[in-house]
Structure formats: structure tokens, C-alpha cells
Amino acid sequence: MQEVIRMSSPKSGKIQAVHLQRRAYVYIRQSTTAQVIDNKESTVRQYALAERAIDMGWQRDAIEIIDEDLGRSGATTEGRTGFSRLAEGVAQGMAGAIFALEVSRLARSSQDWQRLLALCAVAQVVVCDENAIYDPQNCDDKLLLDLKGTMSEVELHWLSLRMAGARQSLARRGALRFPPSTGYLWGERGLELDPDEAVRHAIATIFERFAIEPSQGAVLRWARKAEYLIPTRRSFADGTSTLTWDTLCSSRLNEIIHNPIYAGAYAYGRRSEKKTLVRGEIRTIRQVKAPNDWLVLIKDAHPGYISWEVFMSNQEKMAHCAGRTWAPGAPREGRALLSGILICGRCGRRFRTAYQGRGEGWTYVCSGDRDRGALPCWTVRGQAIDAAVEDLFLRMVIPSELDITLAVEREAEAQAASLHQQWKLRLEKAEYEARRAERRYKAIDPENRVVARTLESEWEACLRELESVKARYEDARREHRVQLTDQDRARIRALARDLPAVWRAPTTQPEDRKAMLRIAIECVAIRPIDAPERLTHIRVQWRSGAVDELTAPRSRARAASNAVIERIRKLAGLALHDEIIAERLNAESLLTGARRPWDGQSVKRIRLKHAIPRIAAIKPSIARVPDRHPDGRYSVNGIAKRFGVSEMVVYRWIRDGIVSGVREAFATYKSVWWFDIDDAAARRLEQASAGTRGTGKRKLESTD
């Protein structure tokens, strides 16, 4: 048996030979980077624990210092690789002692602390701080360590309460400083507008466009088309800042629209955090609170880009576009005019739109309580309802010719001026950068060639950027009409005089018509009328508060006549396929119930509805086009096989004019490509196929 040798040190009889035969771990941690930088004495004291371990009998090479958790909080083990390495050393029996300045350095969570103590008790590891040695196997020492761990966790809670209280006290006075959003800088009087005119103009343009466009996506499309750039200013603790320009993205637009700082409001506590279970794991989620629930809200605290009323209107608009509230949502593609604003007069729910075919026809569907197992409420075709509401809108909305002409012209000029100002500022900035690069180059000693070459390349880059901005500005003036001409103004006046002409113009998109309609109409409610005739009752709610009521015819789904059904039954009895039956019916000038020509699917629906059996055998699969025509010409798949490429490559060759052929009917196919490949064409295709294979090989090599 191994003899247990106890140390004769008067400081402690708890350290035994079994401890000295293992490693001593010195754990060093401070909660933040600022503490590491400012509180250097604490760091020195923690590193000095290695000397304490040597005094207790450990060899210097048996002491391992774990300091990779410097700058990390002890509230959790997440991200603390040093603590994980320490626990692993204890669990594997490699540790004999753990040295820490105090218990809070190891863990400020009772759960993590108790788990570590349990491991130390089983593995016979002592815990040493600056003043004492504790044996977790000893009941009294374990009780003392438990108390210290609990006090450490409670201390962290007290610290967080004091810090949160201090922050809230400063925030209530508007004195708590946080990184300012782009467009603002901290000054002597608090938040002030950015002194850079280009930055201020860019931020203001965002709110101007959001007020004009129907949705967030429309603003993003405008920004991409107009080559709009959004600035980002990052401020640092030393008072310096950097400014970068980039394309506008959805997340950045969301950040700007939802930020109350741009409305001149000082806000604090807009979000809250709570823990929840996600797939069996504890996650921390952040929730956005309503303005009434914010901890601090000081309106008119600093100059704003918009008013508070406009800010709240923008929040409502964003919620509507996102579909988080009952709202029409943003106008979208599709010919259905009333999508999003149509309400069921029976149950009060909103209709959804279902398109048939390629969008030529559409149906409004009210599902009612279908999600709860009930039957759908009702369905109606949309063309007649849309036509009735459209006619009412064009008759009722007759604005003053002078007013609308002036308003449209002012809006067009404002947009043109905004774009012109944006490009002007970009030109000024590019010219300034070029002049500064030129001054730096001319100020350097020509003999210092290394620096001179670097500054010369920077000057040339600035000059290229200046020329690029000038070229893009000229393109924008031509394509986006940055400056209005007399012809533009005359065309605007002509369009403003005739709203129906603008409405029915082929260049007016469906989403534009929906946007115009929603300016005047808040919602439309419909309900069915079955007697004395089938009609749809339409109730139009105008935004002014007025209400108009009208009706529209409601078509009845027509069924196929008995004669047509019997004809289908007879033809099916002759073992004909549905497609052949459809051809026979069309040849006999027979139409479906909807007065349309027959096809295979419509015949199949009639057969299934009236239980007409199919006697015809299953059609054999269509034979593949052969590689060669009987006269020797090649097909697409024949060329692909001969030159070792895919059929998609052959179609690209056809599109690029590398190979030419003719299309003609073949067997059951209506149109098939056939190619004459002579020697010249074969050499040309060999070169093209070699280039294609080389490109593919290079792509694979770059992927590897």
C-alpha cells in the first residue's frame, strides 16, 4: 500500500502526497476587458498564486496557469474555455489543487460552482485561495465553500442591480450615452446632427422615400435602381470615427425606420430579455416593447429628421406591410384589384385571392372557420366585383386638375432634386478625396520612392473613383431623369388631367393601381345575394368616412350538359384516351360548362364526377428522340453524346450561334432540332467542348 505522507507545513495539513503528485491549476479571470486594462493589480495578484503553490510543495513545471478567460464574466460557463479545461483536468484525475484569488473568480453561478465542488470531492482536489486551503471532502470546508459560492452569486445580482439602477437614473435625465446612430454625434448639448451634409441628406432621403413608396421592398428597389448608398458611421472611445458607404439592405432599413432617435426622441429600455425553452435548450430571446412600455421616453430631446407623429405612422405602416395586424398589407403583383382590402360581409374575415391558370382569372375565397374543422364560408369570382369597384373609383375620384397637376409636379421635382443633391454630394466627396490624395503625393519627398509610389497609386485610385462617379451621374441623369425638362413637366400635366388614362395605361402596373385605390378606399365588404337573382352586394368604405353600396352580377358555375356527358360516356366506351375524346368534342363544336374548349384534364374531371370508367389502356411512354435522323442528321442528345457535353451546353451553343440547325416535326413530336455536322462544324464544336470541359475542370480545382 502506498503510504500517505502528510506535509509538516504549519500552514496546512490538508495537502498530502496524492495532491503533490498531480498538477496545480492556477485559474485567472477578470470579468471585462476594461478590468484587465485598468485593474492591473488584481491580475498581478492572481499570477502570484503560482508562487504560493511552489511554497506549498509543487514543482514549477507541475503548475499550469489558465488565463484564457481574462475579460469574460463568471456568470455562466458559456464561452469560458479555460473553466472547461479546468473541469476536464479535475474529472480526469490530473489536478491536485485549484488556486484562485477568491471563489468568485471560479464561478458566480451556484450551479456551476456546486458541479465543480462535486468533482473536486470525488477526485480528491483541494481548493486554495489567497488566505486558506479547503478540502471539499471535509464537511466544514464544504459548508464554507457553499456559503462563499452563494454569496458570490448574490453579489453579482447586487452588482447588476446597482449598475442597472445607475443606468436608468442617467437615462431618465437623458444623460446616459450610448453609441449614436448614423446621422448623429454626441456634442456638448447631447445628441447633435452629423456635421457631414452628405450623411444628413442620405438619412433624410430614406424617410422621404418611405413616405412615398407603399412598402419597404419598394424602397429597396428604388435604392438599387437609383444606386443609392447609405452611410455608416462608427464612433470609438477615443473620439474618432470612421464613415463608410454601402448599398441599402432590408436589415439596415428596418433599423432606421424603427429607431426613435430619428424622431428626436431619447429612448431607453425598448427591448426586454427573457429565458425560454427551445427544443429542450434554454435560450435568451429579445422582445421589442411598445412605446408606452419603454423605461424612458423623452420626446423632442434633440433635433430630429422626422416628427414623432410621422415615426408612429411609419411603425403602423411597417406592421401592416409585415401582416402583423389586420391590414391590407403592401400592394403586390397580381391582377386582383381588391387583394388585402376585401372583407367577408358574412363572418367579417378577410378574403384571400386564388388565381387560376396564368393569372387571367381569380377568385376571392373566405375560409371562415375552416381551420377549426368547419366548412369554408363562400367563394366568388373576382372580375365582376373588381370592375364595379374600379368604375366607382374612377367616377368618384375626380380631383381638381390644377391641384393634382401642381402636386404631381412638386413631387416629381422634389424627387429629382433629392437625387440631384445626393449625386452632387457624392461628386463633391470624390473631388475632395482626389484633391487630398494629390496634396499628399506632392508633399512627399520624390527621393522616398516607396512612399511616393504608394501615394501615387492612391491618387490614381481616387481619380478613377471620381471619373466613375461622374459617369454614373450622367447615366442617372439620362435614365432616371434627375433633372426635369420642359417636356417632362408637360407630360406630367397631361397625365394629371386624365386619371382614367393613367389607370388604364399599359405601363401602369397592378400594384400601382392597388396603391392608388387604397389612397381613397379603406376597405370593401361583400356578401352574396341569391334572390331574386344571383348578385354580390358590395359596400365600399372610403377613407373620408363615406360609404357607397352597389351590386355586381355573380356568375353561376355551369355544368356540362347531359348531352355532352352522354357523348363522353360513349367515346370512353370506344376505348379512347381523354386527349382523343377532347379532340373529338372540340371537332364537334361542343364546349365545357364554362364555355371553353375541352382538354384532357376537363374530360377526366367529367369522367370522375359521373363515374365513367376508363377502358383505354395506359398510354405507353413517348419514345426518346434518336441520336441520328434516318437521313444522318444529329439531334441535340446525339451532339451531346458525340462531343461529351450535356444537352444544356448544346442549347447554349445554339443560342450563341456556334451550331445551327432546323426545327421540324418528327414522329409524335411537333418540333425537334436536327443538325448537319460537317468537318468544319465538327472542328468548331470540338474546340467549344474542350473549352467547356476546361472551364469545368478549373471550377473543380478552385473548389478543392
Mean pLDDT throughout 571-577?
Answer: 86
Listed range (127-136, 446-455, 603-612) with the worst mean pLDDT: 446-455
Angle at 204 between CA 200 and CA 207, to 5 degrees: 155
CB 409 within 8 A of CB 489: yes
Residue 402 pLDDT:
43
**Assigned C-alpha cell, 643:** 462531343
pLDDT of residue 491: 66
C-alpha span between 632 and 677 (Å, rounded):
9
Q: What percent of the chain has pLDDT over 70?
A: 82
Residues 6+ apart with CB under 8 A from 380: 363, 364, 526, 528, 536, 554
Rounded to an integer, the average pLDDT of 126-142 is 88
pLDDT at 555 over 60: yes
Q: What is the pLDDT of residue 11?
A: 44
Q: Which of 9, 31, 468, 671 is catalytic?
A: 31
| Dihedral class, residue 419 (left if φ above 0, else alpha if ψ from -120 to 50, else beta) | alpha
Give the least confident one: 111-115, 545-549, 593-597.
Answer: 593-597
> Cell 454601402 maps to which residue?
246
For residues 455-478, average pLDDT: 74
Cα–Cα distance, 475 to 471 (Å, whole number): 6
DSSP state string for 221-290: HHHHHTT-EEEEEEE-TTS-EEEEEEE--HHHHHHHHH-GGGGT-EEE--EEEEEEEETTEEEEEEEEPP
What's residue 700's pLDDT? 35
What pLDDT shows up at residue 64?
92
Q: What angle do CA 13, 152, 79 make, to 5 degrees?
A: 100
Instruction: For residues 333-341, give the mean pLDDT.
Output: 83
CA distance 357 to 355: 7
Give the span between the Cα atoms of 144 and 134, in whole angstroms: 9
Other C-beta atoms closer than 10 Å to the C-beta of 428 total 13
Tell me: pLDDT of 262 over 90.
yes
| Residues 250-279, mean pLDDT to the nearest whole number | 86
Left (φ > 0), alpha (ψ -120 to 50) or beta: where does 93 sit?
A: left
579, with CB counted inside 10 A (0-12, 13-18, 19+), is middle
Question: Which of the four pLDDT bands, split at 50, 70 and 90, describes residue 460?
Answer: confident
Task: List, in order, residues 6 or more apart from 681 with CB less than 8 Å away.
Answer: 659, 675
Size of the chain, expressed as the number of residues it contains: 704
What's the pLDDT score for residue 557?
Answer: 57
**Three-state secondary structure call for residue 464:** helix
Distance CA 105, CA 69 (A): 10
pLDDT at 26 over 90: yes
Is 38 exposed, middle or buried, given 0-12, 13-18 or 19+ CB atoms closer than 10 A? exposed
* Cβ atoms within 10 Å, residue 549: 9
Query: 99 forms bridges with which residues in the sheet?
Result: 26, 128
> In this prediction, what percent of the chain has a pLDDT beyond 90?
8
Instruction: Kindly state the average pLDDT of the residues 190-207.
Output: 87
Q: How many helices and strands (H and E) does the chain possess? A: 24, 22
Entry pTM: 0.53
Residue 367 annotated to the active site: no
> Dihedral of the CA atoms 209, 213, 216, 222 (nearest 10)?
-70
Identify the residue with better confidence: 418 or 31: 31
Cell output for 459:
491618387
Cell output for 239 = 473620439
What integer pLDDT is reported at residue 399 of this predicted model?
A: 55
Average confidence score pLDDT of the chain = 80
- Nine-digit cell at 151? 454569496
Average pLDDT on 243-254 reads: 87
Rg (CA), the chain: 39
The owner of cell 432621403 is 205
Question: Does residue 694 or residue 440 have the better pLDDT?
Answer: 440
pLDDT at 498: 67
Q: Write down the pLDDT at residue 367.
A: 78
